[in-house]
Structure 1
Amino acid sequence: MGVVTGVILDESVLLAEGDGDKSVSSLQPGVEPLIRTLFQSRIHIGIAYNVELQDDKVSILKRIASSHSLHCFILNDQVSEVVMPVWGDNGSGKIIYLVSSKKELLLLPELRRYNWLIVGLNVGGESEGSREYDTSNIENLEELPLKICRLNKKFTGNKFLTVGYVMKPSRVEDFAKRGAFPLCPTQNGLMFVPLSAKLPLSSQLKDVDVVLHKATDEILSIEDNQPTFTQNMQELQRYLDQHQNLCVVDPLINIYPVLDRLEIQQVLLGLLELNTEGGYLIRGACFLKVDNFSEVDFTAGLADAGLSLPCIVKPKVACGVSDAHKMAIVFRVDDFKNLDVPLPAVIQEYVDHSSTLYKFYVLGEKVFHAVKKSIPNADILIKLANGYDLKPLEFDSLKSLPTDKSIIIDSGTSNESIDLKLVTNAANWLRRRLHLTVFGFDVVIQEGTHDHVIVDVNYLPSFKEVPDDISIPAFWDAIRNKFDSMVSKQACA
């Protein structure tokens, strides 16, 4: 029967009357977030208004339409001839018309001739028109994306899966602008809907088949290796604990190792089982945990851990707190004493790697990589630090790195020096060991030994260095395969 491919928003759900002055209008609360969600979901959007609408109100509608490149038109006999061809509608897609329940009764006879799906936004209770014509209503604007998913399932006999996602707005925008979160079903049968903090989470999750989250964005603090999440994430965690048959990408407990740099370093020790005689070595970096910079015999401690100067010092907490990426490169033992890096910390081997970093992305069973410029070798770092009398080079790794801008990385030639089969084996080993569906890790190749050293692991990276036409379908397949695998295991249990 087809699925919903477009939404037309009636002016009655968009405009709010000004306080004490009905001649002054503004947008209803929630309008712009809804339009942004629909726009990011790659669905057609239009704004319709009656020919009698006041000019100042029409101007408001045209402004919001222009800011998002939406179609804005008068509701008349020519709508089907003007709007539908622009949307490329061939008769198989369905169009939702969202209208206020107060206006719905008057408009219904006129709207029905367009063969649209009329959804009423309840204002002051259910309208008589809703009962007479059996239209689907919603209580607030935030419900519309989930309503679309429900209707699509109804029209197709539950053929598609609904993926509810929760992450910070900037993360959503980063994924959505690349087409990762469409409301219209993907080729492998997924529909994506945001889980709104403004609606009861339990009522939304009843219609969701898969939960996708970036919980590392929702951490308030970490103490004794236990993260404290935002209220919304805590509510999600409670729901998931009570509904363990719901598919999650990924269970919160599975991401804990990547929150702790010490724990992930200990996990990486297991990579040694992949190494074979005569081949390149893949491993984690040598490391040493420090609880107090003033109470450690660093000369002995570094030697016992297989470390030599310079070293890079990182907070033990890997993400979720403001100073998790505050780091330093240290050149002299005495400089550890007054180091301004959050404790506890991890002192990590600094690997000379010709300023070349390989970023690997694991999307289900598929592995991709990109080459990026990185921090230079130790001899160049020493020259950079000499102006500071070899004092530690302190930096925030999310903002800037100590680099030598004169170095140019040629990704075409850099690829020749990496053993992709070896790192792919390591990626699959990590996937099985960590039980994660989507994650990333960074590899550097040590000059001289050619050791492949994994220096960082992170959960649900953006993988934006991989072309969208390759990475986004792989992302969807990873989610779909996770769900299918879980269903298969439940059937065999």
Structure 2
Amino acid sequence: MVEQAVKGVVLDDSVLFLNSNGDNPNHSLRPATDALMRHLQYSMFRTGISSRLDSSDCKDIIKEKAESHSIDCFSLNAFLTEDDINEIMLSWGDIRNSILYVISSERKDDIKQLIDQGWPVVVLNVQGDSACENLGRICISKLEELPLSICRLNMKADDCSPIVVGYTMKPSRELDFAKRGAFPLYPTDNGLIFLPLTFDLPLSSQLPEVDMILHKATDEILYVELSNSSDLSNKITYSSRMQELQRHIEVHPDLCVLDPLNNIRPVLDRLETQQILLRLEALKSEGCIIRGPYFLKVDNFNEAILVQKLSEAKLTLPCIVKPQVACGVSDAHKMAIIFDVEDLKNLDVPLPAIIQEYVDHSSTLYKFYVLGEKIFHAVKKSTPNTSTLTNLNQGVGPLIFDSLKSLPIVNESQQHLEGKSSDKKNKNINIELVQNAANWLRSVLDLSIFGFDVVVEDKSGDHVIVDVNYLPSFKEVPDDIAIPAFWEAIKNKYENFKRASP
């Protein structure tokens, strides 16, 4: 067996194709091949493909996959020899005792050769052979099981009893994190192993190996029911796989979750978020305050006394209109900037909605990220001041946009003019004040990893938090700073959870 944690994986070409003999005219790759290669590519260990199929088409496919996933490719003999094994060992000499070879059960002679040479072997049982376990030390029936097998090996090999973090999120988000080295299958310096949870396998076979769950549950929301009540409890419908995970969490209270679904609920609802931010005004620093924007919830854009309600809410035009549901559904980011009350008539923004103060901030947005006890920030361009917006709009009605795709941003010359013409009380952000607010929000929300956006109002110098979100990408923070802080936040959450457990 592996004496050390797995640091390298060689995929025999026999496990990549549906027909491992290479005589399938379609040369079909197994459906899980690309996802597996992505996991291995970004899991902090060496990965290679051994190419032995005679078909030139197969060789071309293997070469293309190896290049696209930046992994090594070894051209070996038709039947595995001791020289072939030595070639791989020489290429990866620094980890020669920690290489795992994954091969099809059809290649029994090759499996024996590998075992005779002392290699740890994972056998993909492609024939349903009841004697598969006799061919090697580990036997799997699907490629999707390989990360779980590697996780188990690394748990046994590591001396520090690693914490296994099972994670689930949509593929594009997972890839963004993985490319930064956030999800290694090899233990991190602080003893974490990240296991991708797959719903192609029963959760019951994966979760017993997991110490804590990391999720982006907002990726799994199918529907949010909103009524006159702002309470979203029991009104969020998750995907069937998220519901399955929820059921498992409920019956295993000893399983740590980062973060519990109830804790992320307030940031799914812009009204609840705004109500929380109202309590921020007690925080002050040298006369400077931090607060949420003025706002009004509306269920009907054609309400007769809407103008009066806007005035009572301290709202003056232009304003920004946002759906009450903050994330997880397709139109949660469909917004509008209105310049006249008439713009509200038949406005194409989902109801109920939040009409929110538009803050003049010289097109400068401060993105803050809370990773456990660590707080980071980045400066980004933002939407222009009201005067610039009004000139750009030229009275043609509401400005409708998707905040994830088409946020109206000023160019450098416009931003320069805004900076010169703005009546700013305080041009600089008060970092200490915002950090105090971040710590307060961490306590109130009881979240480990979240982000929020701050703008500084030109005339008053008020620091206004205009958005709060759960598990952001924190992509503006350099990887060598962000990823260790990310791991530390997860480790601290687990340790605090265990200390609090009876």
TM-score category, normalised to shorter length: over 0.9
Matched residue, 2:58: 57
Matched residue, 1:303: 311
Aligned to 1:120, which of 120, 123, 139? 123
Matched residue, 2:443: 432
1:228 counterpart letter in structure 2:
T
Matched residue, 2:13: 11
2:497 counterpart letter in structure 1:
M
Matched residue, 1:407: 414
Aligned to 1:392, which of 392, 398, 401? 398
How far did 1:89 drift?
A: 1.9
Identity in percent:
56
How far did 1:83 drift?
A: 2.9
Task: State which drifts further: 20-29 or 214-223.
Answer: 20-29
Matched residue, 1:97: 101
Task: State which drifts further: 75-84 or 285-294.
Answer: 75-84
Cα deviation per residue 1:442-469 (whole Å; 9 max; x = unaligned)? 0000011100000000010000000000
Cα deviation per residue 1:276-326 (whole Å; 9 max; x = unaligned)? 5x4310000010000001124122101111111111111101111111111
1:294 counterpart letter in structure 2:
N
Matched residue, 1:108: 111
Establish whether residue 78 from structure 1 lines up as the match of residue 78 from structure 2: no
How far did 1:199 drift?
A: 0.7
Cα deviation per residue 1:106-157 (whole Å; 9 max; x = unaligned)? 1233112443211111223346463265x11112100100111111111125
For the 8 Å contact 2:123–2:135, the answer to whether it is kept is no
How far did 1:392 drift?
A: 1.4
Establish whether residue 131 from structure 1 lines up as the match of residue 134 from structure 2: yes
Matches within 5 A, 1:48-447: 48-50=50-52, 53-73=54-74, 74=76, 75-87=80-92, 89-91=94-96, 94-103=98-107, 105-126=108-129, 128=131, 130-131=133-134, 135-157=137-159, 159-224=161-226, 225=232, 226-275=235-284, 278-386=286-394, 389-405=395-411, 406-408=413-415, 417-447=428-458
For the 8 Å contact 2:111–2:135, the answer to whether it is kept is no
> How many angstroms apart in 1 are the aligned matches of 2:18 and 2:429?
60
How far did 1:327 drift?
A: 0.9
Matched residue, 2:421: none
> How many angstroms apart in 1 are the aligned matches of 2:190 and 2:127?
40
Q: Secondary structure of the equivalent of 2:106?
A: helix
Matches within 5 A, 1:27-66: 27-50=29-52, 53-66=54-67
With normalisation by structure 2, the TM-score equals: 0.91
Task: State which drifts further: 419-428 or 11-20.
Answer: 11-20
> How many angstroms apart in 1 are the aligned matches of 2:93 and 2:430?
47
For the 8 Å contact 1:446–1:453, the answer to whether it is kept is yes
> How many angstroms apart in 1 are the aligned matches of 2:24 and 2:375?
58
> How many angstroms apart in 1 are the aligned matches of 2:349 and 2:56?
59
For the 8 Å contact 1:309–1:332, the answer to whether it is kept is yes
Q: Secondary structure of the equivalent of 1:417?
A: coil
For the 8 Å contact 1:18–1:26, the answer to whether it is kept is no
> How many angstroms apart in 2 are the aligned matches of 1:58 and 1:379?
62
For the 8 Å contact 1:314–1:327, the answer to whether it is kept is yes
Question: Structure 2, unaligned stretches of length 5 or more?
Answer: 227-231, 418-423
Q: Secondary structure of the equivalent of 1:444?
A: strand
How far did 1:390 drift?
A: 5.0
For the 8 Å contact 1:18–1:25, the answer to whether it is kept is no
How far did 1:88 drift?
A: 5.3
For the 8 Å contact 2:112–2:135, the answer to whether it is kept is no
CA spacing shift, 1:95–1:21, aligned 2, 3 Å: closer
> How many angstroms apart in 2 are the aligned matches of 1:121 and 1:111?
15
Task: State which drifts further: 335-344 or 376-385.
Answer: 335-344
For the 8 Å contact 2:369–2:474, the answer to whether it is kept is yes
How far did 1:416 drift?
A: 6.8
CA spacing shift, 1:377–1:193, aligned 2, 3 Å: same
> How many angstroms apart in 1 are the aligned matches of 2:390 and 2:449?
37
1:366 counterpart letter in structure 2:
K
Task: State which drifts further: 220-229 or 473-482.
Answer: 220-229
Cα deviation per residue 1:315-342 (whole Å; 9 max; x = unaligned)? 1011111111111111112222232211
How far did 1:268 drift?
A: 0.6
Cα deviation per residue 1:220-269 (whole Å; 9 max; x = unaligned)? 11003221111111111111111121111111111111111001000111
How far did 1:43 drift?
A: 2.3
CA spacing shift, 1:100–1:377, aligned 2, 3 Å: same
Task: State which drifts further: 213-222 or 151-160.
Answer: 151-160
CA spacing shift, 1:354–1:88, aligned 2, 3 Å: farther
CA spacing shift, 1:330–1:25, aligned 2, 3 Å: closer
2:59 counterpart letter in structure 1:
V
> How many angstroms apart in 2 are the aligned matches of 1:132 and 1:64?
28
CA spacing shift, 1:129–1:319, aligned 2, 3 Å: closer
Question: Structure 1, unaligned stretches of length 5 or more?
Answer: none
> How many angstroms apart in 2 are the aligned matches of 1:248 and 1:422?
30
